[in-house]
Structure 1
């Protein structure tokens, strides 16, 4: 079988990118310019990923020159693209390897987190208050965390040089977007936001969460998370 038959499948690059972008958008519900920038960063990662998965295995070509003799499985086939499997000598179905199974958990958890956080935001917008419940009790930016978890999941099953380079860049992009959101919320809610931000981490949850101070917070005066998006 021709190893190169596993690549050059450009329709699959387009179809998979479009499907995952549409799937993510259905969970994230982008509406603002900032939302679309977050989606754009995620789309760039997917394009780089699926281009190597089905189009041109650039990473395999680059690594096979000096690792080929040490890692025989590192070949320009679909199985050979699962680099972590190649490095540990996994000989079974690559889709059942420990790395691949872990990737399912990260990707599924990421999509769940994005959807769960959006429901909290949507409810907060309907009641003209800030998001403080659900995932927002643990971190201030659960939806961005969701995107990062999905990307980590894809890196576990199909790491490439472009996506490994892109990941920290996109993490910084999401950090900048999050900080811009926080400035808007701080300007609107002042001390209430400062209290919330002081006891709730931005991206990495604490093992022991600081209990809320004071009251539950009524409309317009709750201790808040991110600025809510208005419902459609």
Structure 2
């Protein structure tokens, strides 16, 4: 316990780096996911094919390979720090998965809402922006909570390219104390578990807060 108390600031620093990286990944993934979902549903055929290939490819590549590809391969063209390389790599992967979350949510919106928007004089994309997307967002909360959990755990992979997140901080502590592997990594596992549970609880509370009686929501 004394060891954990003494090194608690380092573990907390690592946890904050992991959460910061998670915020970058989910933000980039959300932007990519919404764009892909809209193009898959409403875009012209060539763009549907292009984004469909993107989604299939990036869902099929392991995140750790993307990390190495962006960090080492991308450095030949753009100089990125390990943190931002991890954010881009995991964000590209998350965008492919989030696209299917948003695609399913958009398709879950009744067709009559689009027709109602067009009947009010909106263009197709105005109806999508002001009618379809707000309605679809309600159906993405719980699936997005699953993506939160998945990407939170994926941030630990950033260890391989030198990001000093929670896992690497644990490795530093083990090296400096000449042992205590089980104790330190047990503390890391507990930290990830608590962050994961709190995130899932927050998404469940948000889903309940915005639910409308009589309107079905994603389960």
**TM-score of the two chains, using structure 2 as the length reference:** 0.29
Q: Which gives a bigger RCO, structure 1 or 2 (Cα 8 Å, sep 6+)?
A: 2
